[in-house]
């Protein structure tokens, strides 16, 4: 078994995951030692190359099934080259998105079947799963407005339309409610400082006590 700890951040566009994951890393490092920040799609050179195929281009560039296959190719490389080695040496790994995003984006949002995604998840992830998932939730219109204001990012997905993003939000909520031992729902509509405190309370209550 891996000796490190694995935390994922999930949520729709504009939820503030990148800001909050950095804040958590800064707060964790003095207490736990090595903290590795990573993201999906991406996180390793091969996975970053595949990321560009996914987040750029026309909305209909890939079908949901094609997206899922590309994502799992990227995830396998990410796990092999970054996540598993980091956990094995005792690092805390914080990932901006992981497997829940595939279930939400390609599954709930895009319509890829749950069975198809589950089969890939079981084949690729093995025993590497986040111990804690922080699911940042906020209304779709607010999230899309934030995403538009920041520019860049995952623009191909941002252009998929409000109905897609509403399905996406409901997908994340369903996951969080169905796995309460792993997932903590965070009110991302709150001011950033308040969101950071919600995140810290979840990490402290779930993981830091056992790491002491």
The CATH number for 5-211, chosen from 3.40.50.300, 1.20.1050.10, 3.40.50.720, 3.40.50.620, is: 3.40.50.300
CB 29 within 8 A of CB 120: no
For residue 148, the model assigns a pLDDT of: 84
Euclidean distance between CA atoms 86 and 81, whole angstroms: 9
pLDDT, position 156: 86
pLDDT tens digits, residue range 45-93? 999 999 999 998 889 899 999 999 999 999 999 999 999 999 999 999 9
* pLDDT at residue number 34: 96
More confident call, 188 vs 155: 188
Residue 1: pLDDT band with limits 50, 70, 90: very low
d(CA 25, CA 93): 9
| In the chain, where the domains are located | 5-211
Q: Are 92 and 28 in contact (CB under 8 A)?
A: yes
pLDDT of residue 158: 84
Distances (CA, A) of 121 to 62, 76, 101, 110, 175: 20, 10, 12, 17, 15
Q: How confident is the model at residue 151 (pLDDT cuts 50, 70, 90)?
A: low
Angle between the 114-125 and 64-78 helix axes, to the nearest 10 degrees? 10
pLDDT, mean of residues 158-178: 94
Mean pLDDT of 113-134: 97
Q: What percent of the chain has pLDDT over 70?
A: 95
Q: Is the pTM for the entire model greater than 0.85? A: yes
Within 13 A of 117's CA, how many CA atoms are on the CB side? 22
51 half-sphere exposure, CB direction, 13 A CA radius = 18
Q: How far apart are CA 31 and CA 212, in angstroms?
A: 9
pLDDT for 131: 97
SS3 36: strand
């Amino acid at each position: 078994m891996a000796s490190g700890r694995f935390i994922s951040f999930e949520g729709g566009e504009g939820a503030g995951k990148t800001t909050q994951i950095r804040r958590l890393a800064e707060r964790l490092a003095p207490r736990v030692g090595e903290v590795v920040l990573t993201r999906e799609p991406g996180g390793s050179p091969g996975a970053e190359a595949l990321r560009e195929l996914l987040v750029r281009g026309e909305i209909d560039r890939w079908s949901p099934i094609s997206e899922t296959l590309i994502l799992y190719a990227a995830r396998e490389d990410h796990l092999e080259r970054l996540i598993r080695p980091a956990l094995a040496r005792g690092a805390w790994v914080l990932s901006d998105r992981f497997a829940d995003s595939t279930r939400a984006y390609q599954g709930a949002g895009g319509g890829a079947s749950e069975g198809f995604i589950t089969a890939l998840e079981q084949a690729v992830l093995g025993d590497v799963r986040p111990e804690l998932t922080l699911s940042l939730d906020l209304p779709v219109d607010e999230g899309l407005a934030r995403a538009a204001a920041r520019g860049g990012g995952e623009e191909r997905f941002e252009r998929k339309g409000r109905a897609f993003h509403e399905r996406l939000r409901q997908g994340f909520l369903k996951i969080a409610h169905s796995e309460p031992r792993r997932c903590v729902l965070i009110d991302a509509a709150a001011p950033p400082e308040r969101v950071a405190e919600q995140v810290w309370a979840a990490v402290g209550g779930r993981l830091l006590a056992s790491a002491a």
